[in-house]
């Protein structure tokens, strides 16, 4: 069940994601620091990091982008990002358990 997304819409979305990743890759290549605009992470880095996680959930790969991959790995070393990642993982498990319980009650 759900809404069927037309193929031309899916193609447009894939093209948009690809062009956005291309721009992000070039931005990181131009900046010599470890992060997007400085040598320290900024709110821009955090925002883009979580946007990329959303792409990861939708199985979009940025593996061919060396600068994005390196930046992503650096972001994962930040203790606060690690903490949020852990909290998200725990929340996802709780949500899955609730969905499973609700589904079993309906059967």
Confidence of residue 80 (pLDDT cuts 50, 70, 90): very high
Long-range contact pairs involving 23-32 (C-beta distance under 8 Å, separation at least 24): 24/48, 24/65, 24/68, 25/65, 25/66, 25/67, 25/68, 28/67, 28/68, 28/70, 28/71, 29/67
pTM over 0.85: no
Q: Are 47 and 54 in contact (CB under 8 A)?
A: no
Q: Are 68 and 28 in contact (CB under 8 A)?
A: yes
CA–CA separation, 80 vs 59, rounded Å? 25
- Tokens, residue 45: 């880095």
Q: Which tens digits make up the pLDDT trace of 26-52? A: 999 998 778 988 889 999 999 999 888
| Per-residue confidence (pLDDT) for residue 31, from 0 to 100 | 84
CA–CA separation, 51 vs 47, rounded Å? 6
- Tokens, residue 79: 């203790």
CA–CA separation, 32 vs 104, rounded Å? 53
């Amino acid at each position: 069940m759900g809404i069927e997304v037309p193929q031309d819409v899916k193609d447009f979305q894939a093209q948009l994601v690809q062009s956005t990743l291309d721009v992000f890759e070039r931005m990181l290549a131009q900046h010599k620091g470890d992060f997007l605009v400085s040598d320290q992470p900024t709110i821009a880095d955090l925002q883009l990091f979580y946007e990329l996680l959303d792409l990861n959930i939708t199985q979009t790969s940025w593996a061919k982008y060396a600068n994005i991959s390196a930046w992503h790995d650096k972001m994962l070393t930040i203790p606060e990002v690690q903490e949020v990642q852990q909290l998200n993982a725990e929340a996802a498990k709780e949500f899955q358990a609730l969905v499973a319980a609700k589904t079993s009650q309906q059967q």
